[in-house]
Amino acid sequence: MNIQGQGHSLYQELQSLASQVQSVPSEFSIPALPEQNTSQSDFSAMLKGALDKVNGLQGESRQLSTAVEMGDPKVSLAQAMLAGQKASLAFEATVQVRTKLVEAYKEIMSMPV
């Protein structure tokens, strides 16, 4: 009984099968998986952008209210008040979204596995 001979023929058969698999038309081949999940990075970029926008609205409101307090004739009280209301509304919406995210996280964590 020649074990090396049997191992060699098995190896040749595997090589032959591997070459046949490589020659399968692309319509039957399995598509390559993406290297990384971009949805997580898209969500984090979207969240960061929203927070930056809220921060920008608050900064603009602060600047306009300071300009009104200093008596700048280019800035009206109505502009400062509108900017303050926009910043307040954006902050309230951000707090609401944060609350919903925390509730969803707690609900997911309490699910049985």
Q: Which pLDDT does position 13 carry in this prediction?
A: 75
**Binning pLDDT at 50, 70 and 90, where does residue 66 land?**
very high
CB atoms near residue 83 (< 10 Å) = 21
Name the pTM for this structure.
Answer: 0.59
Answer positive or negative: Cα dihedral of 39, 41, 42, 43. positive
What integer is the mean pLDDT of 54-66?
Answer: 95
Contacts of 76 (CB under 8 A, 6+ apart): 68
For the CA atoms of 37, 41, 43, 44, the dihedral, rounded to the nearest 10 degrees, stands at: 150
Sequence spans of domains, the chain: 39-113
- Tell me how far apart the alpha carbons of residues 95 and 87 are, in angstroms, rounded to a whole number: 12
